[in-house]
Structure 1
Amino acid sequence: MHSHVRLSALLARHFENNLTAIEAQEFSIYLENPVYAEEIKDLLAASFTAQTEALEMPAIRKRRVLKSVLGDANALQPLRRRIWFRAGLVAAILLCILTVGLFYNQYQDRSSDDFAYLNDIAPGKQGATLTLSNGSRIKLDEANNGTLAEEAGVKISKSADGQVIYEIRNADNGNSATQVLSTARGETYQLRLPDGSVVHLNAASSLTFSSHLLQKGKRLVKLNGEGFFDVAKDKAHPFVVMCKGQELEVLGTHFNVKAYAEDQKMVSTLVEGSVKVRYGDEQRLLKPGQQATNDGRGLSVKEVDVSEAIAWKEGFFRFNDAHVGEVMEQLARWYDIDVKYEGKLSNDGFSGKISRYKPISDVLKMLENTGLVKFKIEGRRVTVLE
């Protein structure tokens, strides 16, 4: 025990660079004696932990530092049965001291660099809330499979794969009930309407419709947010999507509509079939591969790569020369984060593709690799740095 106490004191003074010539000689004797190897290893680990604890350094960072020093992925565990550097104990101690000092001096000043991610944030998931005409709400990710409700001659059920399915049981029932399917930030969901059409809702979106779907001979739904529509063919009953004063009318087709309330533009992208877009007195007919943009003053149409518009449905973020603000809007909705900006941001665009089901740190690192921007994660807030 005496030798351990003395060794501990000498090691502490060595860290402080306060060893006298006699103490330095005594310390060297300890280092050269294999009898004290295990004690020295334990003291190194304890010293490292103590010095980094005050920094509130994430545990994963501590493991990485010790791994770089001692070459062991499990280095935060007691340092027994470890493989030391061939340079010997002295070199390992010096490297540990230098490494800890480096992290101590730079940790607070480099919060926008390697240590900016104090925590990580998981991606969104399948989930939504169904609000019935009587005001009752069903959390679909918590509901059991099977029948959820019956209203106005329509059976509403949840399938094994989580899809909500509407089935008309009594077509002669003249009543119709208005319902709303809504996703929160960090949620996405799939719905099959009574006519067999399938709607995929992106995060922070809602779809309002009647249980029978038909209104004045048309299949009518109202969208707020973003949705991908796979519309069942029915020449006798056009399918109409209403959003922010705009109407899209189809007979049977695949298309994507992005119309968030906070966005200045509505964007409609046609994948297959044809879509008639109406806004005020203006009307345009889209062909596959075309995109209509509505900025509130009128409609404009252009040819696009539709894979970018529907990437979210396929489980990806796909950016093509997108401004950092546009990128962060998508991340905010999917990861349910608050975004803060500091400094003057680059006007350069970002391009790339990455899975939406990765932790947010993976997406941010992809953006940081461009050298145009840095990020800091604190709780559910992400700060965009110059």
Structure 2
Amino acid sequence: MTMKKSERLIVKFVTNQASQEEIEELTEWLKKEKHQIVFKDFVKTNYAIDAAMYTFDSAQLKKQLSERIESESNVFQKRRFSSYYKYAAILILALGVFYFYRNSNLFHSKENVIIPRQDDIVLQLDNRSMEIDTSEARNVTDKNGNIIGKQEKNRLVYSNTNSSGKLVYNTLKIPYGKRFEVQLSDGTVVHLNAGTSLKYPVQFLKNQSRQVYLTGEAYFEVAKDKAHPFTVNTQEVNVEVLGTKFNVNTYPEDVSTDIVLVEGKVSLYKEKKTTENQVYLTPGLKGSNTRGEQKITIEPVNTDYYTAWVKGSLVFKNASFASIIKNLERHYNVTFINKNKTLGKEIFNARFDNEPIETVLKYFSDSYKIDYMIDEDVIIIK
């Protein structure tokens, strides 16, 4: 295991964000005495843990853990504490540091651990709304009880048929802190980023173009169908394709709408499409429209920067700190209060691959001396 990876696992463990697999991996790494020294020094340096170490007392640990578990009113939290007990005990035994457990922030310290809000993904049907639990698999039905699709945990798949009747729309609303995927009835796959809303037909109609409506950000893998062009409608720019892969970023609070083409060809236009007002993109190009303006500009880009979010990564290239914290709010479902107005204009470059927010903040703190304090789901930049 590299030093960088070991530090990531330590951060996740100390901030109660490590999975059981990651804790088992960290436990295996800690079997070497030199790694235990690294662990203690890292925790002491970065989490202000007192250097004093006490003898491990498994009975006392079990008692205190049980008390914590019983005090939790939320069933999910009980399950999580129960599953963590076994591995927490292994780690503490390996280190011989009961004091670390007793004084650290391992179990939801409200002073130093960020606790993001947990909001639900909502599917708005023709006559009702339902919350999406990504741990479940179930059928989705219309108002008449007919099965129109199936939820497969974090993916929703609609029946692959065309309709000859009228259009019936569903809308998926993704909160901050979550992502989701939907496969439309024509086979088109759409990856939805945090803070996004997508309105689409349950079934597309024969002899009509395929149209969906987007607010937020989504990556489209459009099924090819020459007879039925596919159009993504946003508040500012419309995107028309036959079959291709592209990213659309159109958050209402952002100053521009950006379309990045990965594969195929797309046309962009404002309002109604005419021969004169269309702009075409080929792979590797980004089309942008500043809100309120008519002109669509084009520039070559590295498409990976704009699609990394699909796999959970965050990439910032020549980005202002103000725009970075806006993205962090969406990605982690937290709130930033930036009291350093000069800092908001500073430009940064960074990449984070599925990191907990504590790791992200530590990077900025260590690299750029950014000072901050935490109050549950609120991060205050001093």
**Where on the TM-score scale, by shorter chain, does this alignment land: which range?**
0.5 to 0.7
Aligned to 2:231: 240
Q: 1:248 to 1:62 in 2, by over 3 A?
A: closer
Aligned to 1:235, what secondary structure does the other structure show? coil
Cα deviation 1:130-185 (Å, max 9, x = unaligned): 11011x112121684131214697721112x531011045x454133111011011
Match of 2:131 among 139, 143, 160: 139
CA contact (8 A) 2:174 2:192 kept: yes
Aligned to 1:149: 141
Aligned to 1:364: 361
Q: In structure 1, how many angstroms separate the alpha carbons of the residues matched to 2:112 and 2:207?
A: 53
1:273 paired with 2:271, answer no
1:66 paired with 2:50, answer yes
Q: In structure 1, how many angstroms separate the alpha carbons of the residues matched to 2:210 and 2:178?
A: 26
1:201 paired with 2:192, answer yes
Q: Structure 1: which 5+ runs fail to align?
A: 1-58, 79-116
Aligned to 1:191, what secondary structure does the other structure show? strand
Q: In structure 2, how many angstroms separate the alpha carbons of the residues matched to 1:63 and 1:258?
A: 37
- Choose 178-187 or 146-155, whichever is displaced more: 146-155
CA contact (8 A) 1:63 1:74 kept: no
Aligned to 2:111, what secondary structure does the other structure show? coil
Aligned to 2:309, what secondary structure does the other structure show? coil
1:121 paired with 2:75, answer no
Q: Quick one: which amino acid aligns to residue 329 of structure 1?
A: K
CA contact (8 A) 1:182 1:205 kept: yes
Aligned to 2:308: 311
Match of 1:328 among 325, 328, 335: 325
Q: 1:354 to 1:294 in 2, by over 3 A?
A: same
How many percent identity over aligned positions?
27
TM-score (norm 1): 0.66
Q: In structure 1, how many angstroms separate the alpha carbons of the residues matched to 2:327 and 2:300?
A: 22
Aligned to 2:299: 302
Cα deviation 1:163-211 (Å, max 9, x = unaligned): 1011045x45413311101101112100000000000100110100121
Aligned to 2:346: 348
Q: In structure 2, how many angstroms separate the alpha carbons of the residues matched to 1:228 and 1:62?
A: 37
Q: In structure 1, how many angstroms separate the alpha carbons of the residues matched to 2:155 and 2:190?
A: 10
Q: Structure 2: which 5+ runs fail to align?
A: 1-42, 61-109
Alignment of 1:78-93 (within 5 A): none
- Choose 220-229 or 365-374, whichever is displaced more: 365-374
CA contact (8 A) 2:116 2:377 kept: no
Aligned to 1:326, what secondary structure does the other structure show? helix
TM-score (norm 2): 0.67
Q: In structure 1, how many angstroms separate the alpha carbons of the residues matched to 2:286 and 2:176?
A: 25
CA contact (8 A) 2:180 2:191 kept: yes
Q: In structure 2, how many angstroms separate the alpha carbons of the residues matched to 1:380 and 1:124?
A: 7
Cα deviation 1:210-235 (Å, max 9, x = unaligned): 21234872110000000000111111
Q: In structure 2, how many angstroms separate the alpha carbons of the residues matched to 1:383 and 1:223?
A: 32
Aligned to 1:187, what secondary structure does the other structure show? coil
Aligned to 1:158: 151
Q: 1:189 to 1:287 in 2, by over 3 A?
A: same
The structure with more radius of gyration: 1
- Choose 240-249 or 276-285, whichever is displaced more: 276-285
Aligned to 1:291: 286
Q: In structure 1, how many angstroms separate the alpha carbons of the residues matched to 2:356 and 2:163?
A: 49
Cα deviation 1:35-70 (Å, max 9, x = unaligned): xxxxxxxxxxxxxxxxxxxxxxxx999985422xx3
Deviation at 1:343, TM superposition (A): 3.0
RMSD: 3.1
1:255 paired with 2:239, answer no
Q: In structure 1, how many angstroms separate the alpha carbons of the residues matched to 2:267 and 2:118?
A: 33
Q: Quick one: which amino acid aligns to residue 311 of structure 2?
A: E
Q: In structure 2, how many angstroms separate the alpha carbons of the residues matched to 1:125 and 1:380?
A: 10
